[in-house]
């Protein structure tokens, strides 16, 4: 049994929620490494330690937040109200994270750790409920892909706004004072993000509830979710899928500045063109999965990406037009798997309910968000550590040949290897189109049986339609 097709307004609203997240998250992916090394003044290796260490705390905070969200009772549902409650702290901490106090180096290090931790905590509190929301607004696998496609188009628009405006705004606000410029520019992005969150809250509705409600404790829920073999595998996929793209994104500013030897204005246009490519990739995802199973599309896209990204290494970085075209095409392919990945998370949640009898959406998605953040942290730390290993010097007027080659590897070959590993992990999943059809039919029967049983126990008559389904 399928829910009705979602309206354009609701799909747009759902996408607006992640757009709000990415007004800050996009800045972290695109600019945080560069900001910490070249503006804030931290050593590259220390940046790697910072990004990685906070993830240890997520191992505790993420499942707790997932369990809290699953148990939330409000007139707006379980997950939706968190968009309202946490949006202000999230955007506030993001501005503080891009603020550079005039302190000693040791105190600045402490400040960077504290603000990054607070931002991460707020991100957990808003993003886990938001991602969980995608699993309960519809049970139609096709609509889920469509919804996620809208989501990533909106993410693309948000990232485009960010990439086109953050650096120019930073220069406009700060002039020679880059620190003040980044702070003020992030303030503008934060306000835009806040309104996006509020729009999402106002337009999206929760519809899917567990077939058989349970009130078990968190320990029991964690045991149940581990019995979902597909959940364990998609955690690995989440980690592997995020690493290649983030490594390349984090290396982009370095590649444009030191390898292509282009200006900040060119970097803005270069990154923005990549975002346009990703938006096209998001729309292609739905078209491809209408014809082929999403697992097959996911696998073959990553094979193409592995070949294409590695081949990028051999391009002449000074052949500007060729590099720009290749980067645009690469980003189209890169984004195709993203809507499929998040749709698969919801499918795996359905699979878990089908197999274990328990729907634990919050904890299920919190695991994915934890592994996503670990992937981001590992990728960010890898960029920091490898830059340090290759001898990168933020204060130098000219980088060494070793440092330049290291930047090229981070931008091309290393992501290519990551795509190949991701393709291998996709082969471990079995929630294909045929199995999901079986699961949806079975879960629909369970819900009807549960309603019939409740009606019987309450002494109510059950109206049976000609098809034999209780009304």
Dist CA 410 CA 382 (whole Å)? 9
3-state DSSP assignment of residue 464: strand
Domains and CATH numbers, the chain: 8-205+218-457 (1.20.1250.20)
Write down the pLDDT at residue 467: 43
What percent of the chain lies above the pLDDT cut of 70?
90
How many residues comprise the chain?
471
Dist CA 169 CA 354 (whole Å)? 50
Q: Is 373 within 8 Å of 58 (Cβ atoms)?
A: yes
For 7, 81, 107, 287, 427, the CA distances from 280, given in Å and listed in that order, are 21, 31, 44, 11, 25
Give buried/exposed letters for 186-201 (b at 16+ CB in 10 A, else e): bbbbbebbbebbbbbb
Q: Which range has highest mean pLDDT (249-263, 400-414, 452-466)? A: 400-414
Nearest to residue 123, comparing CAs of 227, 18, 205? 18
Alpha helices (H) along 312-336: 320-335
pLDDT tens, residue by residue, 187-209:
999 999 999 999 999 999 888 76
Q: Which two tokens stand for residue 241?
A: 């899928």
Dist CA 206 CA 457 (whole Å)? 27
Q: Which two tokens stand for residue 29?
A: 């992916």
Q: Please state the rounded mean pLDDT for residues 82-109.
A: 91
Write down the pLDDT at residue 409: 92
Greatest CA separation found in the chain?
Answer: 82
Dist CA 408 CA 310 (whole Å)? 10
Write down the pLDDT at residue 462: 47
pLDDT tens, residue by residue, 405-451:
888 999 999 999 999 999 999 999 888 788 878 877 887 787 777 66
Q: Which of 114-118, 204-208, 350-354, 361-365 has the lowest mean pLDDT?
A: 361-365
| Residue keyed to tokens 């757009």 | 19
């Amino acid at each position: 049994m399928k829910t009705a097709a979602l309206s354009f307004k609701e799909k747009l609203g759902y996408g607006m929620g992640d757009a709000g997240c990415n007004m800050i998250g996009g800045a972290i992916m695109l600019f945080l490494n560069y900001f910490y090394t070249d503006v804030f003044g931290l050593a590259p290796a220390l940046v790697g330690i910072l990004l990685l260490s906070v993830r240890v705390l997520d191992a505790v905070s993420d499942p707790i937040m997932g369990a809290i969200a699953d148990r939330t009772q409000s007139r707006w549902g379980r997950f939706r109200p968190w968009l309202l409650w946490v949006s202000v702290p999230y955007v506030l901490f993001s501005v503080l994270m891009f603020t550079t106090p005039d302190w000693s180096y040791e105190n600045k290090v402490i400040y960077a750790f504290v603000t990054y931790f607070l931002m991460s905590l707020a991100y957990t509190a808003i993003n886990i409920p938001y991602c969980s929301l995608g699993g309960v607004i519809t049970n139609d696998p096709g609509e889920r892909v469509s919804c996620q496609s809208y989501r990533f188009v909106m993410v693309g628009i948000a990232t485009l706004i960010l990439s086109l405006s953050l650096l120019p705004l930073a220069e406009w606000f700060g002039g020679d004072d880059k620190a003040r410029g980044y702070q003020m520019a992030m303030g503008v992005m934060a306000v835009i993000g806040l309104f996006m969150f509020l729009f999402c809250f106002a337009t999206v509705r929760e519809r899917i509830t567990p077939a058989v409600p349970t009130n078990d404790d968190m320990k029991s829920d964690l045991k149940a979710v581990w019995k979902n073999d597909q959940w364990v595998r998609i955690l690995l996929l989440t980690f592997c899928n995020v690493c290649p793209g983030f490594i390349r994104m984090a290396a982009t500013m370095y590649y444009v500045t030191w390898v292509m030897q282009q200006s900040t204005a060119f970097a803005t246009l270069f990154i923005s063109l990549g975002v346009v490519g990703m938006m096209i990739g998001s729309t292609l995802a739905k078209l491809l999965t209408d014809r082929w199973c999403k697992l097959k599309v996911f696998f073959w896209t990553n094979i193409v990406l592995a070949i294409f990204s590695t081949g990028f290494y051999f391009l002449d970085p000074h052949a500007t037009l060729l590099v720009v075209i290749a980067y645009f095409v690469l980003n189209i392919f890169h984004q195709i798997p993203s809507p499929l990945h998040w749709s698969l998370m919801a499918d795996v949640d359905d699979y878990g309910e089908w197999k274990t009898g328990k729907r634990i959406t919050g904890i299920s998605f919190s695991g994915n968000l934890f592994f996503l953040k670990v992937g981001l942290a590992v990728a960010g730390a890898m960029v920091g550590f490898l830059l340090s290993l290759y001898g990168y010097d933020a204060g130098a007027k000219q980088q060494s040949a070793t440092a330049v080659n290291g930047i090229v590897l981070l931008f091309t070959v290393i992501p290519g290897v990551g795509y190949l590993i991701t393709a291998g992990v996709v082969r471990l999943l079995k929630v294909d189109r045929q199995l999901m059809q079986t699961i949806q039919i079975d879960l629909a029967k369970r819900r009807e049986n549960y309603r019939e049983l409740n009606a019987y126990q309450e002494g109510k008559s059950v109206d049976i339609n000609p098809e034999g389904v209780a009304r």
